[in-house]
Amino acid sequence: MSTDTKMVLRQIGAKIAYFRTLSGISQKELADRIKTTQSTISKVENGSYNDNLNIAMLTEIADALEIDLALLLEFNVYEKAMWEKVEEE
């Protein structure tokens, strides 16, 4: 898996954790809302659920968090700069 892919998955996971926290819900509650396990949500948020993270799951998560899916998939200049920094190391 490329460095870019790993960084994208980590940043998507961080965004999920951020919006989940803003919503005041636990990983368990989010998991219940999308009919999965707390362990799965933890892996997604940590960027380690690499092989099976798909658009359907992301859509369910966004719906459960009552946010637009685009918020999880759009990256600003500062977020993209992190990918470049990791590649340089």
Q: How far is CA 43 from CA 54, 81, 82, 88, in A?
A: 13, 24, 21, 26
On the CB side of 85, CA atoms within 13 Å amount to: 6
| Predicted structure pTM score | 0.86
- Provide the CATH topology of domain 3-83: 434 Repressor (Amino-terminal Domain) (1.10.260)
What pLDDT digit, counting tens, does each position of 41-87 carry?
999 999 888 667 899 999 999 999 999 999 999 988 887 777 666 55
CA distance 72 to 49: 15
Q: Any idea where the domains of the chain sit in the sequence? A: 3-83
